Amino acid sequence: MYNQLILPDLQMMLRENDAQGLREFCEALYPVVSAEILEGLEAKQIWQVLSNCDVERQGEIFGFISLPRQVELIDAIDRKRLAKLIEEMAPDDRVDLLSRLEKDRIENLLPLVAQAERSDIRKLLSYPEDSAGSIMTTEYASLPADITVGEALLEHLRKQAPDSETIYYVYIIDEGRRLQGFVSLRELVLAPRETAVSEIMTKDVISVRVEDDQEIVAQELAKFDFLAIPVVDRQNQLVGIVTHDDAMDVVQQEATEDAHLMGAVYPLEDSYLQTPLKTLFWKRGIWLMLLAGVALVNADVLKHYPTAAKNYVWMILFLPLVLASGGNAGSQSATLIIRAMALRNMSRKENIGMIVKEIQVGLFLGLCLAGIGFVAAVYWFHRTSLESSVVASTVLIVVILGTLYGALLPLTLRKFGMDPAIMSNPLIASIMDISGVVIYFNVALWILGVLVEDS
C-alpha cells in the first residue's frame, strides 16, 4: 500500500544521495513501514538507506525485514558492522536471524559482539526450536518487592524503560531472581506513591516454563488476555517474557502450519512468495509421491476384483461416489478435531466426548448419503433395487468408517506426541479410497451373491 507510493521517491533520494531525506525516511515512518518499503530495493541500496540513521534505529527497522531478506542482507556488510547491528536488535529477533546461519558463521561473528549481548544470544540459541525459550525476549522490566510505588516509577522503571520491550507488566523478583509476583503499570500509576510494591502486586502469577511448547504459551496468553507472560526455569527463576505480539505471530504461524499440513504440504518456513521453487517442489512432491503410492496400492487391491469389474461395469460408475463419501466425511472429522485441539488442550473426557459425537454424526450423515445414493442409483442410473442397495450400504459403511478414522487418527497421533495435522485431508481421503474399494466389492459379493463368476 505504502509501498507503491513511496518507493519511487526513495529511489530518487538514493540517486540524488539526499542524506536528509533518507534519514527522515528511516526516522519519521513506523519501522515496520520503512522495512516494508525497503524490501523493494536491492541489498546494497537498503544499506545505503539505513546508513543515514543511527544504528539503534537500523536495528529496529532491520528486525522487521523478512528473515530470508535479512539473511541475504547480512552477506552484503562486513562482520564488524553486522556485530554492531546485532547488538541493537531485539533479543528474540536476532536469535531468529542467527538460528538461520551455519554454526561456524555464528562462531565467527560472536566474538565481535559485546559481552552482555553475546551471552544472552548463546543462552537463547540453546533453547529448542518452538519452545517458550526460543520466542521469549530477555528485555523485561523487574522490581524488588520492598520498594515503594514512587521509587518504582521514578527510579527503577525510568532506568529500565529504554531496554525493556514492555514496562506495562513489571515482574517482582527476589534476590535469587525467583518470580514473586507482578504488577501492571496501570496499578503503579494509580496507586499512592508511598505504597509498597509488595502490597499491590498480584501474587498468583501465571507463568510458563522455558521448555514449554510455543503453542501452549500462546494459548495461555490468549486465555488470560495478557500483554505478556513470564517465562521461568525449573527453579522458578524469571528468564524472560513472551509479549502479545510474539504470541500473535505464534498463533498465525501455527495456523499456517496446520493449514499447510492439512492440504498435504510440508509447512513452509517463509511466506509463499519468498519460498524458492525448489523448496516448494520438495515440500509438495514428497506428499504427492506418498499419496500416489497409496493410490497405487489401491490399484493393486482393485486387481483382486478383475472379474467383478468386468461383470459389473455399472459398479465402476459409483466408484467416485463411494470413494469420495468416505474421504469427505473423514476430512470433515479430522478438520474439526484437529482445529479443536489447536485451540486448547483437551482432557481425556473431552476427547471421548468428541469421539462419541463423531460416531453419532457419522451415523446420521451415512444414512442420509446412503439414501441419496440409493435414490440416484434407482432413478438416475436405472439400477435394480438390489444393485442400488449395494451402493447405499457401501456409502453408509464408508461414511461411518471415514468419520471414525478422521476422529481417531489425529487423536492417536497426538497421543504419540506427533502433530495431528499431518492427517491431511488428501491422506484421509487416500486411506479411505482403499477401504472403500474393498468394502464396495465385498458388499456386492454379499448382496448380489455371485460376484466372482468368470465370464
Q: Is 331 in the site for its own copies (CB under 8 A)?
A: yes
Place of cell 540524488: 16
Q: In this structure, is the dihedral angle defined by the CA atoms of residues 222, 223, 228 and 233, taken in order, positive or negative?
A: negative
Q: Is 227 in the site for its own copies (CB under 8 A)?
A: yes
Q: Is 298 in the site for its own copies (CB under 8 A)?
A: yes
Q: Which is nearer to its own copies, 125 or 290 (CB)?
A: 290
Q: Is 137 in the site for its own copies (CB under 8 A)?
A: no
Site string (193-222) toward its own copies, x via CB under 8 A? -----------x-x---------------x
Q: Report the residue from 58, 70, 207, 335 that binds its own copies according to the rule CB under 8 A.
A: 335
What nine digits make up the cell of 14? 538514493
Q: Is 263 in the site for its own copies (CB under 8 A)?
A: yes
Q: Is 299 in the site for its own copies (CB under 8 A)?
A: yes
Q: Is 61 in the site for its own copies (CB under 8 A)?
A: no
Q: Quote the least distance from Cβ 110 to its own copies, whole Å.
A: 28
Q: Is 2 in the site for its own copies (CB under 8 A)?
A: no
Q: Which is nearer to its own copies, 120 or 220 (CB)?
A: 220
Q: Is 192 in the site for its own copies (CB under 8 A)?
A: no
Q: Which is nearer to its own copies, 106 or 445 (CB)?
A: 445
Q: Quote the least distance from Cβ 85 to its own copies, whole Å.
A: 20
Cβ neighbors of 315 (< 8 A, separation 6 or more) are 308, 309, 390, 440, 441, 444
Q: Quote the least distance from Cβ 360 to its own copies, whole Å.
A: 6
Site string (360-399) toward its own copies, x via CB under 8 A? xx--xx--xx--xx--x---xx-----------------x
Q: Report the residue from 309, 378, 404, 422 that binds its own copies according to the rule CB under 8 A.
A: 309
Residues 403-422 touching its own copies, rule: CB under 8 A, are none
Residues 343-362 touching its own copies, rule: CB under 8 A, are 343, 345, 347, 350, 353-354, 357, 360-361
Piece of the chain touching its own copies by CB under 8 A; list 50-58, 99-107, 142-150, 288-296: 288-296
Q: Report the residue from 61, 430, 439, 444 that binds its own copies according to the rule CB under 8 A.
A: 430
CA atoms of 432 and 401, how far apart (whole Å): 8
Specify whether the CB–CB gap between 211 and 127 falls below 8 A. Answer: yes
Q: Which is nearer to its own copies, 85 or 265 (CB)?
A: 265
Name the burial class of residue 369, with classes exposed (0-12), middle (13-18) and buried (19+) by CB atoms within 10 angstroms of its CB. buried
Q: Quote the least distance from Cβ 159 to its own copies, whole Å.
A: 11
Q: Quote the least distance from Cβ 83 to its own copies, whole Å.
A: 26
Q: Report the residue from 143, 210, 265, 397 that binds its own copies according to the rule CB under 8 A.
A: 265
Q: Is 338 in the site for its own copies (CB under 8 A)?
A: yes
Q: Quote the least distance from Cβ 54 to its own copies, whole Å.
A: 19
Q: Quote the least distance from Cβ 231 to its own copies, whole Å.
A: 18
Q: Report the residue from 318, 374, 440, 441 that binds its own copies according to the rule CB under 8 A.
A: 318
Q: Is 159 in the site for its own copies (CB under 8 A)?
A: no
Q: Is 8 in the site for its own copies (CB under 8 A)?
A: no
